[in-house]
Amino acid sequence: MTQEPIDDTECPACGHGNISGADTCDECGATLVVEAIQDQESAALQTSLLRLGPRHPECVEMTATLSEVIEKLQKRNVGCVLVTGHGEELVGIFSERDVLYRVAGLIDQAESIPVESLMTPRPSTLRPSNPISHALHLMAVHGFRHIPLVDDDGRPVGVVSLRDIVEFMSRGVDTA
């Protein structure tokens, strides 16, 4: 494969518009010279998670009750809630799947059970700059439907879902 400059000035990692002929992105520093890729799907999988437009994370503290978390899932129409510690760092995730598998028989106590006792602790995370392929790998290997995105301090900055990736990929294929 030969190395060719990207035809347009949009950075494949962050989407920033750059001056034509630039070798690196002014915004994120990513290279604008890539190996020529014939397969559009393969190229799309190397695109940054930022291009998915990750949703703002719905977060709760560890002490939030089960009923508060379920109410947030319903009202915000989201598939997961991120659980944060005292420094706002990510400590867990609680998803609609947890409601199905962990909550049965506990609904009478939902007002008093802290989410900390039912969440998945220390969830796998990615950075927004990671490629989509990393998220798909984690989802496939572990059966995840949601991947929290965190900053360098471990604080949640977004969430991507399998649905986000499928919609992005279908848009890319349809516009080819």
End-to-end CA distance of the chain: 21
Statement: residue 32 has pLDDT above 80: no
Average pLDDT of the chain is 85
SS3 category, 31: strand
Structural domain includes residue 46: no
Highest mean pLDDT among 41-50, 65-74, 106-115 belongs to 65-74
Number of domains within the chain: 2
Statement: residue 176 has pLDDT above 70: no
Residues 62 and 144 occupy one common structural domain: yes
Residues 60 and 21 occupy one common structural domain: no
Residues 28 and 102 occupy one common structural domain: no
Residue 34 is predicted with a pLDDT of: 58
Q: What is the mean pLDDT of residues 66-94?
A: 95
Structural domain includes residue 44: no
Structural domain includes residue 110: yes
Residues 105 and 150 occupy one common structural domain: yes
Residue 14 is predicted with a pLDDT of: 75
- For 143, the domain range is 52-171
pLDDT in tens, 132-170: 999 999 999 999 999 999 999 999 999 999 999 999 988
Q: What is the CATH number of the domain that holds 63?
A: 3.10.580.10
Residue 29 is predicted with a pLDDT of: 75
The residues, ordered by sequence, that sit 6+ positions from 133 with a Cβ below 8 Å of its Cβ are: 45, 46
127: exposed, middle or buried (Cβ count in 10 Å: 0-12, 13-18, 19+): middle
Q: What is the mean pLDDT of residues 47-75?
A: 94
Residues 92 and 5 occupy one common structural domain: no
Residues 105 and 131 occupy one common structural domain: yes
* 126 vs 37, higher pLDDT: 126
Residues 32 and 56 occupy one common structural domain: no
Percent of the chain at pLDDT > 90 equals 57
Residues 121 and 155 occupy one common structural domain: yes
Residues 105 and 159 occupy one common structural domain: yes
Residue 39 is predicted with a pLDDT of: 62
Closest among 149, 107, 106 to 128, alpha carbons compared: 149
- For tokens 């005292």, name the residue: 86
Structural domain includes residue 43: no
Q: What is the mean pLDDT of residues 8-26?
A: 77
For 148, phi and psi rounded to 5 degrees?
Answer: -70, 140
d(CA 126, CA 122): 12
Residues 87 and 161 occupy one common structural domain: yes
* 45 vs 128, higher pLDDT: 128
Residues 88 and 161 occupy one common structural domain: yes
Residue 28 is predicted with a pLDDT of: 77
Residues 62 and 16 occupy one common structural domain: no
